Amino acid sequence: MTASTPAARLRSTTGHGRSPAWLLCLALLTFVIGTDDFVIAGVLGEIAADLRVTESAAGQLVTAFSLAYAAAAPLAAVATARLPRRAVMICGMPVFAALNALAALAPTYTALMVCRVLAAVTASMITPAAFATAAVLAPPGRAGRFMGTVATGLTLSLLAGVPLGTWLGGLSGWRSTMLFVAALALVTAAGLGLFMPALDKAPPLTLGRRLAPLASRPVLVSLAAMVPGAAGGLMTFVYIDPIAQALSGVTTYGLALLIAVIGVAGMAGAWLGGRGADRLGPERTIFLALAVQSAGTLTLTALAWLWPGRTPALLLALVLACWQIGGWAFNAPSQARLLRIAGPSGTEALALNTSAMYAGIAVAGSAGGLALAAGGAAGVLLAGSGFTLLGLAMFALACRR
């Protein structure tokens, strides 16, 4: 019998020893979107000075992007459910590029804010489609690691995309940073057009039938668990500067090295989480990842109490690496599990999962700020541990059925 579906045709021509070109294009897609999301933090000063606003107001561009993404993701998934994912991504990336180009030309803060919100809405349509496509086209038994490869684009954006965009902003102004992201988006669109295989159309289900699995208890609890799970993992990263200062008193150069270590560890975690989802199963990998993340933050909390200002930088780097591996290893298996239990609502479930993750980012920033004011670096780390353990308990509840 000959292979008839796109996935089957792809499996017959793609070996298991190397990543196909279309998968690398999907990783580049998440790299571009991750860079666009976080790079604003590196050029806040330039934006504030150019548009004559405070740095606090400029920082709200990051908040607006995250909130718009979180709010739009489930709506965008429903609106594009009947459209081919290939078309959504290939057409969405040029729109994303155009919005970043318009942001580079924005004459006022309000115009820039509108461009950022529209870019977030566009990104919310594209990212879930990328992860769902990776799972659909993966060879048997490799969906987790293919989704993990796509997730490495997000971690690589923190390691390479944000620093490069920040450097360009300092060299040529923040508008060059926006043009840099726009150019990357166009390259990604071209790569998807060249290498992405055709995909089967979505089944002709009514809206009610498509959304019905989202009302199941395991799906709802899993989505709710993502909020504390993400908050616990990201809180340490959001406040890494005061944490590193309190534990080791590192210099600016030392902090840059620690962030680089965190970025490399995040890429390793995304890769390990994908492989673990395939070999151990998503549930075991989720528990293992959150356990490692909890152990890392609890160890950092103990160091903040026992060796404040005297923790060796090498030890701090090792513990942070372990914590970050657990944090990013949690991503791929959680998405793989949602795709499995949500059935025809898989893409919508991934969109809601991303919304929950961005809600976790907001919780990490607000709750972490309160914890820092109340208990210093140790307070942040203790709060992060509490959120991670809560996420672990909620996932255990979700996996009981």
Q: Which residue has the tokens 């898989």?
A: 346
Residue type, 149: T
Residues 85-138: tens digit of each pLDDT: 889 999 999 999 999 999 999 999 999 999 999 999 999 889 888 988 888 888
Residues 198-246: tens digit of each pLDDT: 776 555 555 555 566 567 788 888 888 989 988 888 888 778 878 888 8
Mean pLDDT of 366-370: 84
Chain-wide mean pLDDT for the chain?
A: 84
The angle formed by the CA atoms of residues 389, 292 and 398, to the nearest 5 degrees, is: 45
Q: Of 89, 70, 80, 75, nearest to 30 (Cα)?
A: 89
- What is the rounded CA–CA span in Å between residue 141 and residue 331? 17
Mean pLDDT of 263-268: 88
SS3 state at 175? helix
% of the chain surpassing 90 pLDDT = 33
Residues 152-169: tens digit of each pLDDT: 888 888 778 888 888 888
Chain centroid offset of residue 342 CA: 20
Q: What pLDDT score does 328 carry? A: 87
The angle formed by the CA atoms of residues 184, 327 and 374, to the nearest 5 degrees, is: 110
Q: What pLDDT score does 16 carry? A: 47
Q: Is 331 in contact with 201 (CB distance < 8 Å)?
A: no
CA dihedral 319, 376, 373, 380 (to 10 degrees): 20
Residues 281-322: tens digit of each pLDDT: 999 999 999 999 999 999 999 998 888 888 898 999 999 999
pLDDT band for 194, please (50, 70, 90 cuts): very high
